[in-house]
Structure 1
Amino acid sequence: MSPATSPDPRLGRLRLVAQGLVSRPFARPVDAVAASMAMQGQDLPGVLASAVLRTRAGVADVLADLDAGRLVRGYPMRGTVFLMAADDVAWVTELCAPPTLRAAEARRHQLGLDEHSVDRARDLALAALDGGPIPRAALFARWDEHGLVTAGGRGYHLLFHLIAGGTVCYGPWNGTDQDVVLASRWLPAGSTLEGRFNGDRVAAVGEVLRRYLTSHGPATVRDLAWWTKLRLAEIRTAFAHAEPHLEHDGAAEERRYWRPGLLEEAGAAGRRSSAPLLLPGFDEFILGYQDRLFALTEADHQRLVPGNNGVFKRSVVAGGVVTGVWSRAGRPGRRSLSVEEFTPLSATVRSRLDGLFRSFPFVAD
């Protein structure tokens, strides 16, 4: 799909409704995450807030879902950490992670690591985690004690390999982060590709396709190919599994798909779909699509991601488009909202943003 030449507020409003940010239709954070298939999660407090913002729940509920193992972070695709429903972690990782693992293996020698290093890290992790969850820093310390130097990105590479390879995953909340746990003990039994789909990749890709398009649509098949890094040919082969669950715009090329009833739901929402929102920096409304310029101009995109360095600021959304970025000013206990406006905001909108800030689901001060 060619990049958008200007923001498309109507498309933005439809996607806000599809993602649950307008009506908050989900009872619990795990329900919102499962519907979305996955939410990009390198900013842990941010992705937890993203899950809450689509629900009728609060911060205590999303932490409870983490602690109970209903929500799990892993590396299922693109070499990026995602928050997922526990039921989906194993099979999606088996489906999508192998190309990223192969690419990481090809770069391993640059870190001074080899296959023996990974095997040793796995053995030490299995022993360290046999007694239960431990913080990531404690796992890295164990590796360092046994001669596996974790500095310079080595620890990250080893942990990524063990998570994407299905040995460990991120588990319960420890007050500042998630502990590391054994995947075999933390993930539900029977949630592998074999257990869920009898090893049928076509059916599994069809399920990813269905959930992505019903939660992110209007979106294209190429959006999903970018999002998962699955091969476009494989996605098209699986499309028959998802098509009965979708509506589309009828375009001859780059057809957009969405869940049945979305247009009617958006029409019933009316002005609520244009209401201002405060979103975390890595929210799926921004990062869930190949082309983000439906929501903001190229110039404003540079302000959202300064230097295109992969670090996204928190966005202010109004009328279906990004109208600024926001941050928390002040010290813990005395926080206030700071907004950098891309376009001038009315006094009414600024007042509503203050209210949204006071009720925002911050996980930590």
Structure 2
Amino acid sequence: MIARRAAVTDAERRARLGVRQLLAPGARAERIEDVAEALIGLHATDPATVYLSAAARLAEPSVAEVERGLYDDLTVTRMLCMRRTMFVVPTPLAPLVHASTARAVAAKERAGSLAFVAQLGWDERRYAAVERAALAALAARGMAGAAELARDVPELGEKVLVSPGKSYAAWQTAGSRMLRVLAAEGRIRRARPRGAWTSGQFRWTVAPEPPAHDPDPLAAKAALARRYLYAFGPVTVDDLKWWTGWTLTDARKALAATGARDVDLDDGTTGYLAPDDEEPVPAPESWVALLPGLDPTSMGRRHRAFHLDPAHVPALFDRNGNIGPTVWADGRIVGAWAQRADGEVVFRLLEDVGAGARTAVAERAAELGAWLGPVRVTPAYRTPLERELAGPKR
């Protein structure tokens, strides 16, 4: 007789989410490194997301704690990797992430940059010369913005009109493309930005020397998949493919290499757990959280029905599939929040969560408003409900 495969219910998936992703009571972390480790990486396309995602999971949230890891101790690293998206990952994990995903992204970035400067009449030889000059100028300055480097290396300021004739046509500099490539390759890194922690005007500095030998790409993919299984599992092959940006073949090979255990999910599909992660995760105490747009918990899977009613998708996502700020209760997305111009954090629940949870959400909103203080946060990707909530009081 063939034994029936084990099953993981939606309720246990929500319990795992709360515990593994540091949102349930008693699960909060002390350091930014622990937060990044638990989630593999914090989404960083929107600079504010890193801080807000960390604040939701730190026992004592502070901007200083995130900046310590990013800019002082360099224990977390901002890099372009999974899905050609910016993440903040634990620095010890960066070589593995580079070998498994970022290396391929960097190769595409370099090809695109070479095609861009070809419009300026540059060949690869000139590109290489300008790149060497830029690195030398950055090393001499220690830290600099793109405009400062362009004063040292004027070629970096040469411009190309992108998408001419379109409503979104814009001039872009050679430096903006070249610096992005160097960062994607791990040769330079984003340093402390100008202005507040919500700013995306990053300065640049030369990156520390990389390890002498990158991990083997196939082994790195398997190692990253194993971490993903533990942080987000059970997940489907489609989830892994979507989250990493790999091909379906690569996702299947990586899963097989982990020795992942397949389980039945409530929706009738097959999910996968890490081979040493078979014990059920008990439901934690009741919890609520206000997570920012693009938070890794919200964006960690392609299939979200176990924690998100599909009817709520039009209000909570933009047209490109980016999620806005969300309200969570016991492992489910139950609403949205926004910050108004006067600083007040407001929310709307899209389903009945009970009086206790509603009170807890209101308390969390007041705490977040007090934590933000004079800072105003507008998500990089606006969603219908966030826009409505952030509008004038009625």
Above 0.5 in TM-score?
yes
Task: Say if 2:233 and 2:272, in contact at 8 Å, map to a contact too.
Answer: yes
Determine if contact 2:114/2:127 at 8 Å carries over to the other structure.
no
Cα shift at 1:169:
1.8
Q: Which residue of 2 aligns with 1:5?
A: none
- Please report how far the alpha carbon of residue 26 of structure 1 lies from its aligned counterpart in structure 2 after TM superposition: 3.3
Letter of the 2:223 partner, please give it: E
User: Within 5 Å, which residues of 2 pair with 1:168-317?
Assistant: 168-172=188-192, 175-176=195-196, 177=199, 178-183=202-207, 185=208, 189-190=210-211, 194=213, 197=215, 200-239=216-255, 242-243=258-259, 248-249=262-263, 254-258=270-274, 260=276, 264-267=280-283, 269=284, 271-272=285-286, 275-306=287-318, 308-317=319-328
Query: Using the alignment, how far apart are the partners of 1:303 and 1:208 within structure 2?
Result: 32
Q: For 1:65 and 1:182, locate their aligned partners in 2 and report how far apart those are by CA, in whole Å.
A: 17
The alpha-carbon deviation at position 158 of structure 1 amounts to: 2.9
Asked if 1 retains the 8 angstrom alpha-carbon contact of 2:56 and 2:290, the reply is: no
Matched, 1:127 2:136: yes
SS of the residue aligned with 1:249?
A: strand
1:125 CA displacement? 3.1
Displacement of 1:38 in angstroms is 1.9
**Which residue does the alignment assign to 1:70?**
75
Higher mean alpha-carbon deviation, 84-93 vs 70-79, is at: 84-93
Contact 2:43 2:49 in 1 (8 A): no
Q: CA deviation at 1:110?
A: 6.1
Question: Residue 340 of structure 2 corresponds to which residue in structure 1?
Answer: 329
After superposition, the Cα gap between the structure-2 partners of 1:292 and 1:125, relative to the gap in structure 1 and judged at 3 Å, is: farther
CA–CA separation in structure 1 for the residues paired with 2:270 and 2:68: 41
In structure 1, C-alpha distance between the alignment counterparts of 2:67 and 2:172, rounded to whole Å: 28
Distance 2:194 2:112 in 1: 34
SS of residue matched to 2:282: helix
Q: Alignment partner of 1:256: what SS?
A: strand
Q: Which moved more, 1:170-179 or 1:140-149?
A: 140-149
Paired with 2:333 and 2:147, the residues of 1 have a C-alpha distance of: 37
Tell me the SS of whatever aligns to 2:312.
helix
Answer whether contact 2:327 2:336 (CA < 8 A) is retained: yes
Q: For the Cα contact (< 8 Å) 1:24–1:53, is it kept in 2?
A: no
Per-residue deviation at 1:42?
0.7
The answer as to whether partners of 2:69 and 2:76 remain within 8 angstroms in 1 is yes
* Counterpart residue number, 1:100: 105
Q: CA deviation at 1:249?
A: 1.9
Please point out which of 12, 25, 30 is paired with 1:27: 30
The SS at the match of 2:364 is helix
Q: CA deviation at 1:288?
A: 1.0
- The alpha carbon displacement at 1:106 in A equals 4.9
Structure 1 unmatched ranges of 5 or more: 1-7
Deviation at 1:294, TM superposition (A): 3.4
Whichever residue aligns with residue 24 of structure 1, its letter is A
| Higher RCO (CA < 8 A, seq sep 6+) | 1
Letter of the structure 2 residue corresponding to residue 71 of structure 1: V
Q: Which one-letter code corresponds to 1:152 in the other structure?
A: W
Corresponding position of 2:351: 343
Q: 1:261 to 1:203 in 2, by over 3 A?
A: closer
- SS in structure 2 at match of 1:313: coil
Q: Secondary structure at the match of 2:239?
A: helix
Distance 1:129 1:106 in 2: 23
Change (3 A) 1:336 1:364: closer
Q: Compare CA radii of gyration and give the structure with the larger one.
A: 2
Structure 1 equivalent of residue 392 of structure 2: none
Distance in 1 separating the partners of 2:55 and 2:257: 30
Deviations 1:291-320 (A, max 9, x none): 2343323342121123x1354320011232
Relative to 1, partners in 2 of residues 1:266 and 1:121: Cα closer, same or farther, differing over 3 Å? Answer: farther
The number of residues matched between the two structures is 341
1:21-60 → structure 2 map (5 Å cutoff) = 21-22=23-24, 23-59=26-62, 60=64
> Compared with structure 1, are the counterparts of its residues 340 and 143 closer, same or farther at alpha carbon in structure 2 (3 Å cutoff)?
farther
Deviation string 1:2-32 (CA, Å, 9 cap, x unpaired) is xxxxxx5653343232222214353311122
Q: In structure 2, do the counterparts of structure 1 residues 84 and 118 end up closer, same or farther at CA, with 3 Å as the change threshold? A: farther
**Cα separation, 2, equivalents of 1:19 and 1:133:** 34
Partner Cα distance (2:86, 2:137) in 1: 22
Runs of 4+ in 1 over 6 A off after TM superposition: none
Gaps of 5+ in 2: 1-9, 161-169, 376-394
Displacement after TM superposition at 1:163 (Å): 1.5
Identity, in percent, stands at 24
